Structure 1
Amino acid sequence: MTTPRPPAGTPPAPPPAWPVIILAALLAALVVASFASLPLQWRAFFTLDAIASMGEFLAGFAPPELGLPFLSKTAGAAAETLAMSALGTLLAAAAGLALALPAAGRFGRVLRAPVRALLNVLRSIPELVWASILLIAAGLGPFGGTLALAAHTSGVLGRLFADALENAAPHPEASLRTNGAAPMAAFLYATLPQALPQMLSYTLYRWENNIRAAAILGVVGAGGLGQMLKYHLSLFQMQPAATVIAAMLLLVGLVDAVSFGLRRVLTR
């Protein structure tokens, strides 16, 4: 007895849900195992002594230091942090685009695997580790921090750029090449314009992340607001530290707003 075939035009049956169920079960087991293996002392966190100690610590930040000399110094450090993030992101975008071309197979399949491995290495090393390494070579200050941001972000943007180029529709470029256009000209006129808005959006989003990272890199001596924060906290000067933290929040909020507005314009 033969199985009857579905009539023509019938949509295919949905794929079985077992892979999704198994993946969800594994994730749930991982979450349960994480809670079971970590010594989370929730009761100690919400005791009266802990709440009183935290309140006393936070009270030390008030009022912030608002003297004009200190505010001027904080503004200079904020400008330094902003410059580190902007220049690091710009260098990373240029390096990421250069690495994305071979990573997307634009120069043959031979270079694709090693370049993608290089991108994995660049983005797998955190900014703080890059800063610790580069500060030894470049010395203390914003230069090493800028290079650290550029190194890590190059790996991130390079991978995202490569994926955007690979996901672009190949037919326009193939049509231009069929009609005699040079490979590079066909890429610049057909494939790159498709991926460019998404690549610019990725770059702006990473700039948002880098402004936060630049503020943290100062903790290891890369300059900017992070270095000021480490200095004042190490001396238990809470009121100046509160001013530096407020400057960090304002700077991050400003960059987030500018980046969000630019992304809205690019995606219209």
Structure 2
Amino acid sequence: MKPCPAPQAQLSRRGLAVLLAMLALVVASFGSLDLQWAQMFSADAARSMGRFVAEFFPPDLSPVFVAKVGWASLETLAMSALGSLIAALFGLALALPAARLHGQDAALARRPTRWLLNALRAVPELVWASLLLISAGLGPFAGTLALAVHTTGVLGRLFAEAIENCAEGPGFALRVQGAGSLRVFLYATLPQILPQLISYTLYRWENNIRAAAVLGVVGAGGLGQLLAFHMGLFHMHKTATVLLAMLLLVALVDLLSDRLRRVLA
């Protein structure tokens, strides 16, 4: 009788098969795309890029324009923060029916709720903003809603996975004592997953800063709207100032998020 292969050997074979499939996909991608590497790294391309980059300097640092960029930066920051907060609240609300709270939970709403979360995060923020501009109009409100809708799908799925992967022992002990589902979640599940929920939310906030800066391209306010306006008119010195503000804003949020994680840890 032939012995069964060890579980670790099976996992290693599966992992190797997945790795080989991914490598084959990458090779096929290079073969199917018309990548003109020689033209990209040619001397003419280098000269053209040099001329283009030189047009950005020096950035426009006039007090009036810097104040305008500063206000747009605050608008972008507010869009990302509010959108992330709304998404965290709705994501947690949808994560509960999207997760199996314990081994004996029938979780009848689990599959349809996960379909909803998949639909929300499958549509990019830029597309959501374009759709919401019709109902919410131009400005940061549409951008905030677009960030909230897309991020709700992302955080809802992450929160649901965190709920399902937490230890069942504390919840089981409360259920045997007759505690209801809400109390079990508040006193057993939530304390275990709270650091993960905060970490996921902070990470998505970092991503939403970048997304909020891009959403203005379709008229959703913030730095992106300034960037699209001045770049469209070939105001390269003003465009350089807006890009510099984007870099500083992303760096600031990354630093703040890292410090918050350290404090919570």
TM more than 0.5 = yes
CA–CA distance in structure 2, aligned partners of residues 14 and 108 of structure 1? 31
Q: How does 1:181-220 map to 2 (within 5 A)?
A: 181-220=179-218
Q: Please give the per-residue CA displacement for 1:96-117, whole angstroms capped at 9, x wherever unaligned.
A: 0000000013584210000000
Query: Cα gap change, 1:110/1:13 in structure 2, threshold over 3 Å: closer, same or farther?
Result: closer
Q: How does 1:133-148 map to 2 (within 5 A)?
A: 133-148=131-146
Match of 1:74 among 64, 69, 74: 69
Give the Å deviation of 1:60.
0.4
CA–CA distance in structure 1, aligned partners of residues 16 and 210 of structure 2? 37
Give the Å deviation of 1:13.
6.7
Give secondary structure in 2 for the equivalent of 1:132.
Answer: helix
State the partner residue of 1:114.
Answer: 112
Residue 166 of structure 2 is aligned to residue 171 of structure 1: no
Give the Å deviation of 1:71.
0.4
Q: Please give the per-residue CA displacement for 1:156-211, whole angstroms capped at 9, x wherever unaligned.
A: 00000000011111110110121232321122011111001100000000000000
Residue 88 of structure 2 is aligned to residue 96 of structure 1: no
Give secondary structure in 2 for the equivalent of 1:63.
Answer: coil
Residue 178 of structure 2 is aligned to residue 180 of structure 1: yes
Give the Å deviation of 1:32.
1.0
CA–CA distance in structure 2, aligned partners of residues 14 and 57 of structure 1? 54
Structure with the greater alpha carbon radius of gyration: 1
CA–CA distance in structure 1, aligned partners of residues 201 and 32 of structure 2? 38
Amino acid at match of 2:8: P
Give secondary structure in 2 for the equivalent of 1:14.
Answer: helix
TM-score by length of 1: 0.93
State the partner residue of 1:23.
Answer: 18
Amino acid at match of 2:89: A
State the partner residue of 1:41.
Answer: 36
Amino acid at match of 1:181: A
CA contact (8 A) 1:102 1:108 kept: no
Query: Cα gap change, 1:186/1:257 in structure 2, threshold over 3 Å: closer, same or farther?
Result: same
State the partner residue of 1:153.
Answer: 151
Unaligned runs of 5+ in 1: 6-11
Query: Cα gap change, 1:21/1:181 in structure 2, threshold over 3 Å: closer, same or farther?
Result: closer
Q: How does 1:117-128 map to 2 (within 5 A)?
A: 117-128=115-126
Give secondary structure in 2 for the equivalent of 1:65.
Answer: coil
Amino acid at match of 1:209: N
State the partner residue of 1:8.
Answer: none
Identity %: 61
Query: Cα gap change, 1:250/1:112 in structure 2, threshold over 3 Å: closer, same or farther?
Result: same
State the partner residue of 1:65.
Answer: 60
CA–CA distance in structure 2, aligned partners of residues 185 and 29 of structure 1? 50
Amino acid at match of 1:182: G
Q: Please give the per-residue CA displacement for 1:65-97, whole angstroms capped at 9, x wherever unaligned.
A: 010000000000000000000000000001000
The answer to which of 13-22 and 148-157 deviates more is 13-22
TM-score by length of 2: 0.94
